[in-house]
Chains A and B, each alone.
Chain A
């Protein structure tokens, strides 16, 4: 089970990492990787925008310069004059170069020279300034004197034809001879004081690409080792050297290499944006591409890129660290959890073993109180529970024993009663059966005699006997027997009702009680000339009605078994002995043999049926009542001397 926990834990940690890295699909949370990517793009874009802006700014400056310089009126005049002079000289000599040489030291030419030098020195980036003669397609004058008068072999034709006064022309082209990239900005020098556009010449400023582009395209630490910015023209030719070698190991040269990679293609096409793609080396990069319009239909593309590997490298490195830490952490947690769980399961194990023992019935075991607070509490609680159960168990056992004992007693009593009763009831039944069949016989005989035509005297005597003697006798026996059965059953009922009767425990003044009993037996006492002596009796605790019955029955018995030889005396006394009060009813009557001491209390037992007319229940009732009061009754007797009946009842308790 706890393996499941560990796995769950590890799984959750891993999935957290996973989600962190890759994000949750269909939700805005895209994860760390995308985040990093977005960050990278962001910085690439920023760099690209910055570079673009700077380049645009520089270009704007160049344009402004060239425009400003070409519009200078003195320059205009000087160039106009110079051209006229050259034209005039050419007429003379017929050679252009010579003509140019000859006008060299003229005032306009000097001015132009100075002017051009001045322009050239404005920016360190300016490397050369030329003025082109459109008509002759030659370089009219240049800061590089060797070029004066030379043919326009290098300049692309488009540059000249494309010249417009609205916009300075920015061109990047490669010199036909050297293949070196040349960056120029040109603007027409118009004829002076002409209203419409009249192109005289073109002022072209050469700009050192290295000076301009290199720093511009330089990528610093922000883009890392693999970071690169590149420029391409309309035709996707690179305008600056590439930082990295190509796939085949060679280094690409400006104008000589066309980039086919997607970011460059898009940038050259005039689009701007970010992309994750492969660069000219075929290596995956993140790139920001921009478009720099130079003129209405021309522009450059710029790509600022960085190797994907490098971008994610640090990220991945830290990720690796993170995973490592995660694993270590998980392992430590597993270890700790194992130890903890072990300790826990150990304690739980012990507890469950104890519980098993209890299940098997052993309540004596106790749990060991150890382990964590919870297990300690559990163990302590378990122990006290067991203690209580043991106690309850013992209490229950003793209660059950007590009840069983009581039940057994009651059962015995019942059995006894049934035994005796079935006996005693059977006896009258025998009579009823016997005399019923006698009657049947008698009636048969009577019918026989009745059917006789003539009755002899013998018959008549017989008939007489049958009807006057035998039949009545049988009937008499039957009646006596039914009465006997009735009496028996009533006695039983009385006894059973006694068993159900509630005991209203009250303090009984025994002296008053005995006075009542004496009063109820007054007639018999007088008739039999008996002396009843009642001593001062201690009070008893019990149901006054039932206790009255007890002593009434005892007095009744004493009156039944008087010795005719002497005057009867019945004495009632009582005294406290320890925690009981013992009463005694003693007489000087007939007494009985020792062997009958217990028998007399038996149900329906009559010592001498001839003497008494009772139902044999008197003493049985006495015993039942006394026993229900938690007391005892017994007798002592000597034949022809007398009898003592003792009744002991629990003494009054302090609380009552």
Chain B
């Protein structure tokens, strides 16, 4: 049995989150999704500070980051993720409203794997994930 990839989503807007989840289902992504509403909580999860859930060592994660978030924004999270030896290799996709080339470059410079501008074309999203070589278990939708 392949290990299921857990998708971690850092997104502060509930609407965006709802749309994301609905569309995951539609394109056949049935993986577990962990949702954080801000960067701080996200970092807590990965680096084990504070209460709440923590990262499991043997689990693969896919990180979806929104840039504009309260407390700690996506860029800072990305920085910290990529600077940490343990989390550096984790595939990260930036999902955000801004299409400012400077921002895009910054994210790539920091090491993100992909950058997708909202509103999301979910087919493209699936391709991006597939490109990353992640095997997402798909359950057939009856």
Contact = CB atoms under 8 A, between A and B. Distances in A.
Contacts of B14: 477
B12 A434 contact: no
Given A430-B118, A606-B70, A423 B98 contact: yes
Contacts of B98: 422-423, 426
A628 to B, nearest CB: 28
B113 to A, nearest CB: 22
Given A426-B97, A430-B119, A608 B13 contact: no
Interface of A: 419, 422-424, 426-428, 430-431, 433-435, 438, 473, 477, 480-481, 605-610
Nearest to B69: A609
B22 A431 contact: no
Contacts of A427: 13, 16, 68, 97, 118
B100 interface: yes
Contact of B15 (A426, A434, A605, A608): A434
Contacts of A608: 70-71
Interface string B1-36: 000000000001111101100100000000000000
Contacts of B118: 426-427, 430
A609 B70 contact: yes
Contacts of A428: 15
B15 A477 contact: yes
A607 B22 contact: no
13 contacts: A419-B100, A424-B68, A426-B97, A426-B98, A427-B97, A430-B13, A430-B16, A431-B13, A434-B15, A438-B19, A438-B22, A477-B15, A609-B70
Leading 4 A-B pairs by shortest Cβ distance? A431-B15, A426-B97, A434-B19, A477-B15
Contacts of A434: 15-16, 19, 119
A426 B15 CA distance: 13
Nearest to A432: B15
A273 to B, nearest CB: 119
B19 A423 contact: no
A607 B68 contact: no
Most chain B Cβ neighbours within 10 Å, of A430, A433, A438 = A430
B119 A433 contact: yes
Contacts of B68: 423-424, 427
A433 B120 CA distance: 10
B12 A609 contact: yes
Given A427-B16, A430-B19, A431-B15, 16 more contacts: A424-B68, A426-B118, A427-B13, A427-B97, A430-B15, A430-B16, A431-B13, A431-B19, A433-B119, A434-B19, A477-B14, A481-B15, A606-B70, A607-B70, A608-B70, A609-B70
Contacts of B13: 427, 430-431
